[in-house]
Amino acid sequence: MTGSASLRIGIAQINPLLGDLEGNADKILKAWTHFEDQADLIVFPEMVTCGYPPEDLVLKPVFLSEIEQQVDTLVACSAQLKSAAVISTPWMIKGQRYNVILLISQGKIVATVPKYELPNYGVFDEQRLFVPGPLPVPIEFRGVKLGLMTCEDMWFDRVAGHLKKNGAEILIVPNGSPFSKHHLSRRLLQARRRVEETGLPLVYVNQVGGQDELVFDGTSFALNVRGEKIYQGASFVEALDILEPKVWDSAGDSLSVLSEAHLPASGPEDIYRALMLGLRDYVGKNGFPGVILGLSGGIDSALSAVIAADALGPERVRCVMMPSRYTSQESLDDAVAVATRLGTRLDDISIENPFGAFDTLLAPYFDEKTPAITYENIQPRLRGLILMALSNATGSMVLSTGNKSEMAVGYATLYGDMCGGFNVLKDLYKTEVYALSCWRNAHIPAGSRAGGVLDVIPENVLAKAPTAELKNNQTDQDTLPPYSELDAILEGLIEHEKGVEELVAAGYGRETVLRIWKMLDRAEYKRRQAPPGVKITSRAFGRDRRYPITNHFLNIIEKA
């Protein structure tokens, strides 16, 4: 076994608050001192000093200057500590910005290792913020040659290979790797490839916590020289763990993940817990006392309310039923049932009077040619107005409740049901909303604050046809294909960038595919005005998928 077997390594999987530089330094120091006399080396996640991703904050000299001051404090404190720390941070070197790893030990910065591979895709824009460093070389620490590399460096073979060539004995990887449905298995695949190529053990330490639309799941791990997982950290919670020297010789799980074609997706519990953590941290880190949402009696608002209660506790969730002349008694009963089972507050505020007042107010300006949707959309906009008034009165954040299918095709009302500060279902297709609701009825997610309640969503909510109830006898399928078909087409168009012919070859009707593509294209202006929400797929709406609003490309496709 290599010299790495002599090191006791502390895993500091913590949840930094972006921009709270002093608070993050305090958290780092508390974790560091927790490991004193237990570990030789403590490894923290990527950009732990400031939180990740800092985006354009790193362009402000005062931000970088304050980071340097906090690092100076940590360096000074380290003089009294026996252990050393691997701390990732933005850092200035000769007037250039880098994403670096600092090895801090006994009052000194022993080594500075810049990140070599800067991601520039999806939600990552590091190439516009940082300069890539040179290929790193191992750093000797207490007789062990450490191969330090940051996150994206692990996803390609060049950095690990260079470290091995220059004598590294262990690979140590601080990460800021956000959750998505397939990302957990992809991480493990890439880590095992680096171990297989180099014959070196690997320690992977990931950030945990929600940061705007991103959720960092933690799930830190370590692999021995055979690529077996000999340590698996907790997911979606902070964790301080020790890797004892003897662990490297123990047997772990087998090398079962072999190719990207066979990567398993995350299960419903991981997805659900990601949604919980994303909402909990967005509310908590931004100082909201709670959330307010419209509870219609439908599946989307029901699941949103349940996730909110699980994440925050029912006492911090206020539901509001806002019926109109088109709201059925069934919907009223279902909304009451959900709120009762959860133990949340439920207010009943009818929009019938203001709806009638608007009808009278606008009657001189409308005629028989006025589209029916004009009247329909007044209703969700009145509901949005009520929710925002309650938000202003209480300080609680409005939680919007639309799903990815609706946002994709524009089946949502600007300044109406799209109104809100955050949308926990934003990256869930409608079929996934149903599946996750069924899962939640049968399971209590780890970390739930809702009191251990099962069967929270009534069977009738799951079974009835989805409807906006903006006119009589309305269902979603009046204007949309069945959600099973719609979601499959949307996933092809959004996540996989498939063209019309590919989807037609897969068995979908050409006219249906073209219609869905056109709806997707024309709804871009709405999505630009939608609230943020938890990202769980490889292509969430927002920075993952950047399409122009003014776009006539589809006209060419239709004529082909």
Looking up residue 463, the CATH number of its domain turns out to be 3.40.50.620
- Say if 259 falls within a structural domain: no
- Say if 368 falls within a structural domain: yes
Determine the Cα–Cα distance for residues 291 and 421; give it in Å rounded to an integer: 9
46 is catalytic: yes
- For 169-298, strand residue ranges (E) read 170-175, 202-206, 208-211, 214-217, 221-223, 229-232, 239-243, 291-294
Say how many domains are in the chain: 2
Asked if 317 and 191 sit in the same domain, the reply is no
Asked if 299 and 332 sit in the same domain, the reply is yes
Determine the Cα–Cα distance for residues 387 and 383; give it in Å rounded to an integer: 6
Domain boundary among 253, 281, 298: 253
Asked if 164 and 139 sit in the same domain, the reply is yes
Which of 50, 126, 145, 151 is labelled catalytic? Answer: 151
Which of 115, 145, 430, 498 is labelled catalytic? Answer: 115
Which pLDDT belongs to residue 4? 56
In the sheet with 9-13, reading across from the earlier edge strand, the strands are 108-114, 96-105, 84-93, 41-43, 9-13, 239-243
Determine the Cα–Cα distance for residues 176 and 101; give it in Å rounded to an integer: 13
User: Residue 545 carries which DSSP code?
Assistant: B
Asked if 281 and 245 sit in the same domain, the reply is no
Tokens of 257: 């993940």
Of 140, 167, 162, which Cα lies nearest the Cα of 149? 162
Of 92, 195, 108, 211, which Cα lies nearest the Cα of 149? 195
Asked if 21 and 147 sit in the same domain, the reply is yes
User: Residue 291 carries which DSSP code?
Assistant: E
Determine the Cα–Cα distance for residues 524 and 547; give it in Å rounded to an integer: 7
Determine the Cα–Cα distance for residues 164 and 149; give it in Å rounded to an integer: 12
> What b/e readout covers 59-86, taking b as 16+ CB neighbours within 10 angstroms?
eeeebbebbbebbeebbebbeebebbbb
Asked if 353 and 452 sit in the same domain, the reply is yes
In the chain, which residues have pLDDT < 70?
1-5, 249-266, 468-469, 471, 474, 476, 555-560
User: How much is the pTM?
Assistant: 0.93
Sign of the Cα torsion 424, 268, 461, 311 reads negative
- Packing angle of the helix pair 329-342, 299-312 (nearest 10 deg): 10
Which CATH number covers residue 225? 3.60.110.10
Which pLDDT belongs to residue 251? 60
In a 3-state reduction of DSSP, which class is residue 525?
helix
Determine the Cα–Cα distance for residues 393 and 289; give it in Å rounded to an integer: 12
Provide the 10 A C-beta neighbour count for residue 389.
Answer: 12
Which run of H or of E encompasses 320? Answer: strand 317-321
151 is catalytic: yes
Domain that holds residue 485: 270-559
Which pLDDT belongs to residue 255? 39
Domain boundary among 253, 287, 309: 253
115 is catalytic: yes
- Say if 191 falls within a structural domain: yes
User: Residue 503 carries which DSSP code?
Assistant: H
- Say if 264 falls within a structural domain: no
Which pLDDT belongs to residue 259? 37
State the DSSP string of 398-437. Answer: EEE---HHHHHHT-S-TTTTT-SSEETTTT--HHHHHHHH
Which pLDDT belongs to residue 185? 85
- Say if 260 falls within a structural domain: no
Which of 27, 46, 419, 526 is labelled catalytic? Answer: 46
